[in-house]
């Protein structure tokens, strides 16, 4: 995984987790993910990206992510988004706003049907 992909993946996870404010469990999940990928600098970048303009973070992230994800094959885009979906499940819930945000990204990345199939299983 390139540094750009690590940034994109961690930004995706961070922007979804920050949707309602980052709690301790979400912070731990982000840190564990970054550590397992050797991506502590990319996590720092993603966190700064969100904190730079918290209220517009999703729209800004969406533009960045669309550029990166357009270079990746469909299976990789689905893997990244489903990983974030599953991480939300690990914390015990997925809010309606988080689900809508992920579905909006899935639509942007042309993987909406595949994500919905994965969710239903």
Q: Both tokens of residue 35?
A: 């550590």
Q: Is the pLDDT of residue 1 over 90?
A: no
Alpha-carbon torsion (19, 98, 71, 10), positive or negative: positive
* Model pLDDT, residue 93: 83
Q: Is the pLDDT of residue 19 over 90?
A: no
* Model pLDDT, residue 121: 81
Rounded mean pLDDT of 55-80? Answer: 95
* Model pLDDT, residue 11: 97
Q: Is the pLDDT of residue 21 over 90?
A: no
**In sequence order, which ranges of 18-73 are alpha helices (DSSP H)?**
24-37, 40-52, 57-69
């Amino acid at each position: 995984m390139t540094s750009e992909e690590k940034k994109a993946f961690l930004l995706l996870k961070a922007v979804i987790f920050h949707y309602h404010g980052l709690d301790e469990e979400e912070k731990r999940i982000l840190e564990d993910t970054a550590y397992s990928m050797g991506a502590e600098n990319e996590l720092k970048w993603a966190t700064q990206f969100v904190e730079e303009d918290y209220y517009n973070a999703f729209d800004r992230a969406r533009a960045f992510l669309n550029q990166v994800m357009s270079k990746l094959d469909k299976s990789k885009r689905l893997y990244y988004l489903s990983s974030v979906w599953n991480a939300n499940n690990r914390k015990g819930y997925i809010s309606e706003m988080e689900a809508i945000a992920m579905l909006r990204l899935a639509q942007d990345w042309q993987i909406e049907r595949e994500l919905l199939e994965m969710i239903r299983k």
